Each structure stands twice: as structure tokens, then as C-alpha cells.
Amino acid sequence: MIFLLLGVLALVVGGCVCVVWAERGGPRWVRVVAVLTRGAGELVSSAQKSGRKSGWGSRGDDGDD
């Protein structure tokens, strides 16, 4: 399990590096990875926003009455 988490962390850090490098005019493959990283970030962000609207993960509705 720890190796899976480390792998995800390495992908996230590598994606962030590619985004910064692409902003400075890196090679084409870096720009492709940057676009994919930004797209994944938008997906996660929209999933969190829709989860908040439906009450998923909200702190006020934990069922402790």
C-alpha cells in the first residue's frame, strides 16, 4: 500500500514539475503531460464541488444526533 501511495505522490510531483516547465516553454511531451495534469486537477476539483452540493463529505451531516 505504501508503494502505491509513493507512486501516486511521484506522479503528482512529476506532473507539477511538467506544468512549471511547460510554462517556460519545454518540449512537446512536457506540454502534453502538463495538459493531462491540469485536466486531472480540474476533474478532482469538480468532483469535490459536486460532492459538497450533494452533502457527501460534509462535516455538519455526520449522523451524530
Helix (H, G, I), strand (E, B) or coil at 19: helix
> Grid coordinates representing 59?
462535516
**pLDDT confidence of 36, banded at 50, 70, 90?**
very high
Residue type at 36 in one-letter notation: L
What average pLDDT is seen over the chain? 85
**pLDDT confidence of 48, banded at 50, 70, 90?**
confident
Q: Are 33 and 18 in contact (CB under 8 A)?
A: yes
Please provide the distance, in angstroms rounded to a whole number, between the alpha carbons at the two ends of the chain: 35
